[in-house]
Structures are given as C-alpha cells and as structure tokens.
Amino acid sequence: MESNESLKNKGDNKTLRLLMPQWQGGNNSAYYLGAQLLNWLAPSSDDAFEEVPIDLSAEGLTVEKGIFARSTLLKQVHAAKAILHKHNPDRVVVFGGDCGVELAPFAYLHNRYDGDAAILWIDAHPDVNSPEHFEHHHAHVLANLLGVGDEDFVAEVPKLVDPKNVLYVGLNDGTASEKEVMDRFNLSVVKPEEIVKDSSSVLDWLDNRNVSKVIVHFDLDVLDLREFRSLLIANPDTYSIMVEKTPKGSSIETIIRVLQDVGKAYDIVGLGITEHFPWEAVALANMLTRLPLIGDINKTDKPSYNWIF
C-alpha cells in the first residue's frame, strides 16, 4: 500500500484519455455508439485526448485464423499503440468499445511499470478464450496479456502479465475452455456476493501482492441487468427470459464503492470501461431518422443493433 504522500503526488503525472469505439471484437456495431456515449457522459477533463481510428466499413468482416475481423483488429491495436507511444502517458483512461480495446493500453502500462502492477478484471466473463474455441476477440484479450492465443496479438504484449497479479472481480460466468485456462494459471476470483457488504476481499488480495500500481478493466456487463440494461445480454426482445436465467450481478453502487476504496489505498494508473450496449439509444436514433422535418417519413427500417456503417 502506498504512503499518503505518494498518493498526493499522483496528480503530477500525465493522463491520456483514449476513446476507442472498436466494435469488431464482439461483432456488435452498437458498441461504437456505446463508446462515444461513455466519452460524452464522462466528466470533462484537461487531460490529453485521442480517438483511435476505427474501421466503419464492411471490409474484412470475415473469420481469419479463427478470429472474426482479425486483420482489422490488429490494425486498430497498432493504431492505439502508436498513440500511446506518441503521448507516453503515466496513466490511461480508455472508453471502449469491446473488451479488446484493453490490449494495447494494458500492455503499454504493464511494460511501462516493468510488471509492477496488479490487474483487477471487473467482468462477468473471464476473457481468456482462444481462436480454436471462440471467434470473437473480445473474449481473448486477457489470455493475450498472459501470453495465450493468436501469436500476432500476443506479440503486442512486450512484457507478459504475471497470473498471480490478476484478480477477477464480480466474475459470474465462463466456458469450459476458459475455465481450463483459469485453472492452468490459478487465477484468483472474487465473486459478486463477496463484495456486497464491503471491499475487504479485494483490498486483502491487493495487500498480498508486492506491487505499487493497479490497472482496472471494467466491463459494464459485471453489473446486474435488472438494474442496468445497456448491456448486450439485455436485449429487449429476450429481456424477460434473461432476467430469469442470468445470475445476479453486482450493483452500480457496489462497483463504485470497490473502485473508490481501491483508489483511496492504491495508485490506479489505468481504467478501461467497455461493452456499453445502448439498446434504447440505438432505437431512439432510428426513430429520429423516421420523423417529419428531421428524417425520412418513408423510411420503414426498424432499429438494427448490428448494422454495417
């Protein structure tokens, strides 16, 4: 744990805000709008800001070497890395996009601090899948940081993450192939029910790590869909079914409290927020395109949540 004096000096360091509205990693183009809305809703800041160029065309939307839109995703990883090295920040905030947006900034931060960082993976899913089991790269990203998966994505990680410095927070799901990877690396897990009353399970784990920095991945799907519905799983057409079958996730206030408690005790150098799926905003945008005076009254297209730009 850091001294109060070192925590006070955190403001002297340079922070980069990175908007990366990548959608191909989950093949859900609504993530593009979701990332833009996250950035718009976030408190204003004087920090440096960059938007990673994202391909909005239908080019390259095929499966290559077991990964959907592989070449496009690699191009976007390279673009993000170039921005990071241009600014050389001490801290990075990422507004995504699918979870794959974390690869470049987390690899950058982990290397910058020479591995002296713990990663809190606040997510309902493990994200340690691989091309032979799942074609969407957003479920591979933590595996890549650990050195597992497609060799070109792994090559973007100059210093592999030590598995003992990774903690899942709020994990609620996982495929058989992901559980194999979790068992192989003996990855630590704090379940949703363990953080309901307080943050001690997370803070105690951090106290037992010999690191001075913390990097946070926050996938919004860790939140309970009964409270927060801007999630892929909360499709309005199947919402009532999913409410019945989906395990209870974490509340918004619980995650806020955990992150505030960690931020008061440790030096958080990275925060990525991902997978905002704004069902209602997409429907509203469609409605506006079909109204008199502002849209086309002959337009009959219904909202599409996975459109091609």
Torsion of CA 19, 20, 21, 22, to 10 degrees: 180
Min mean pLDDT across 123-127, 164-168, 174-178, 231-235 is at 174-178
The pTM of this model reads: 0.93
Beta strand extents in 12-71 (DSSP E only) = 15-20, 48-51, 63-64, 67-68
Q: How much of the chain is helix, strand and coil, in % rounded to 5?
A: 40, 15, 40
Going by pLDDT thresholds of 50, 70 and 90, the confidence category of residue 4 is very low
**Would you give the DSSP letter of residue 167?**
E
Cβ atoms of residues 27 and 105 within 8 Å: no
Q: Rounded to an integer, what is the distance from CA 63 to the centroid of its chain?
A: 22
Which pLDDT score, from 0 to 100, does residue 307 have?
58
Percent of the chain with pLDDT over 70: 95
pLDDT tens, position by position, 147-180: 999 999 999 999 999 999 999 999 998 889 999 9
Which pLDDT score, from 0 to 100, does residue 8 have?
38
Q: Which CATH architecture has domain 4-288?
A: 3-Layer(aba) Sandwich (3.40)
Sheet arrangement for strand 213-219: 48-51, 15-20, 91-96, 267-274, 213-219, 117-122, 166-169, 188-190
In the chain, domain spans = 4-288
